[in-house]
Amino acid sequence: MSYNSLASTKITKRPARTSQSGFGLVELMVSISIMAIVSAIILARQDSFNSAVLLRSQAYEIALALREVQLSAVSASGDSGDFRTVYGVFFTSDISPASDPFNGYFQVFKDNNDNGYLDTGEEFGPRDNLDKRFEIKELRIGGSSETEATVVFMRPNFDALFYDGPSSLVDESIFEIDVARRNTAGALCGSEFRTVEVTRTGQIAVQNCP
């Protein structure tokens, strides 16, 4: 074939394909599913985070009440010139009676008869109920579980005294209050659990589980 015949040959061009962009139905469904899963995870973790913050706040509220009672007991102030007023905090993990349900509570008291325990008429201020989402899971004095117990402070020392009944002083070095999310079963740890510790030397701290 000669050069002239090649030059005279008509060259035809194929029409360019139009590009189509966007999601297909399957791709759209997959994307929506992924977004739903990620959103659910974020919301679940947010709820867990909020619960952990509130639980920590509840534990520190108990610790702060103990610290305030300790300072009131050892400070040089009193009503009617009585500087020997003995203050304490009564704790219970009991959740009865059914007519007045609670999740355990603590009550500040003035120990007027020096028996180291809360008696009728010794209440100092209102009863402090825990948030309904939490409960006093357990009280321990030196590792021994108690349903009710008190921490008592008196001048001039910051030392704490522990009682598991009227005039029943327990010679142990530590008192522990376990605060947990309500109705939590099994081993307690992490965001569902805090322990308020009071030592015999008067140190007060909030601890996570070991």
| Residue ranges in the chain modelled with pLDDT below 70 | 1-23, 41-50, 76-84, 95-102, 184-191, 209-210
Domain residue ranges of the chain, discontinuous segments joined by +: 25-207
Return the structure tokens found at 11. Answer: 């060259």
Residue 51: how many other CB atoms lie within 10 Å: 15
Instruction: Write out the DSSP string of 58-96.
Output: HHHHHHHHHHHHHHHHHSS--GGG-TT--EEEEEE----
pTM of the complete model beyond 0.85 = no
What integer pLDDT is reported at residue 28 of this predicted model?
A: 73
What is the strand order of the sheet 134-141 is part of?
A: 144-146, 134-141, 174-181, 193-199, 204-207
Torsional class of 202: left (φ above 0), alpha (ψ -120 to 50), beta (otherwise): left
For the segment 104-134, what is each residue's pLDDT rounded down to a tens digit?
889 999 998 989 999 999 999 888 888 888 8
Q: What is the pLDDT of residue 42?
A: 64
Tell me the Ramachandran region of residue 174: left when phi exceeds 0, alpha when psi lies from -120 to 50, beta otherwise. beta
C-alpha triplet 65, 114, 158: angle, nearest 5°: 45
Rg (Cα) of the chain, in Å, rounded?
A: 34
